[in-house]
Amino acid sequence: MRLLVLSTTLLALAACSAPPAEDAMDSDIEADDMAMAAQTQSNDHISAAVNDPSRPESETARDAGRHPADVLTFAGVQPGWRVAELGAGSGYYSRILSSAVGADGEVISENMDWLIQRFPSTDEAISSLASERSNVTRLVTPTASVLEGYENELDAAFMMLIYHDQTWQPEGIPTPTAEDRAAMNRSIYDALRPGGVFLVVDHRAEDGTGDSMAGVHHRIDEAFVREEVLAAGFELVAESDLLANPDDSRTTSVFDPSIRGNTDRFVLLFRKPL
């Protein structure tokens, strides 16, 4: 797994608390053991959420291609977090996040108004989930203000396989503009606490194609997304190849049976600066 993480702050803290030379080895071993124990403990809530027996079979069947435990671990989701799933659809991630953050956390399950117009059943699914789980809040908003009406600071926002849909729409539904997306990214930025993270996952298009393949193959150029999100003030802190597929040509529709559910996807973790 390719993983890039910028950890200047952690390095600085480590330097400030460096042990005397004669104790360095023992201290390093102890620190490694503590870090490993903390990592194992911090992942228990994610494993439990993914393995929750109450999850519908229609959702668990998609786990093999989505690797939700790895994705939530990569984003650093912790119990008690306030998290938004933006463009939640029927709430695949909202359900898992609800269990992962626990009773002390909160999940804002948001769908854009265009999505509800095209797929009314998604709103029914989220309404049902919110009625079952007290820590899930249903939200429907325009693209330009995806978190309008939510007042608490978020620890994280997820946008899974739907950023490309903010650049096109079929005839009869207004297409979000570049200005709408800029406002969307800024509203996400404003809703996050300092240090809060924004995870974006989407189907890769060929490099240099921008958003031109969004309505054709339902893919988008990774560099295009990076540029738009960074323009809102975010910093890119990590990226991963956990959903990469080098055998995907990136030139066919994501719904093509030969590749559906196993497309080459980028995973980008942005952060609101501290």
Contact between residue 150 and residue 115 where contact means Cβ atoms under 8 Å apart: no
**Predicted local distance difference test score (pLDDT) of residue 42:** 63
Tell me the CA distances in angstroms from 118 to 123, 174, 217, 261, one per residue in order. Answer: 11, 11, 18, 21
In angstroms, the CA 62 to CA 161 distance is: 13
User: Bridge-partner residues for 203, per DSSP?
Assistant: 265
pLDDT exceeds cutoff 80 at 17: no
**Predicted local distance difference test score (pLDDT) of residue 152:** 82
Chain centre distance of CA 232: 17
Q: What angle do CA 99, 104, 106 make, to 5 degrees?
A: 65
Q: Which residue has the higher pLDDT, 225 or 10?
A: 225
Where residue 201 falls (left for φ over 0; alpha for ψ -120 to 50; beta otherwise) is: beta
**Predicted local distance difference test score (pLDDT) of residue 73:** 96
Whole-structure pTM value:
0.85
**Predicted local distance difference test score (pLDDT) of residue 149:** 73
Q: pLDDT, tens digit, for every residue of 65-86?
A: 999 999 999 999 999 999 999 9
pLDDT exceeds cutoff 70 at 226: yes
In angstroms, the CA 260 to CA 6 distance is: 33
The pLDDT mean for the chain works out to 87
Q: Average the pLDDT over 5-15 and give the result.
A: 37
> What stretch of H or E contains 153?
none
* Domain interval for residue 75: 3-271
Contact between residue 205 and residue 255 where contact means Cβ atoms under 8 Å apart: no
- Binned at pLDDT 50, 70 and 90, residue 27 comes out as very low
Q: pLDDT, tens digit, for every residue of 184-205?
A: 999 999 999 999 999 999 999 9
Number of domains in the chain: 1
Q: What is the CATH number of the domain that holds 246?
A: 3.40.50.150
Q: Average the pLDDT over 207-224 and give the result.
A: 97
In angstroms, the CA 159 to CA 101 distance is: 17
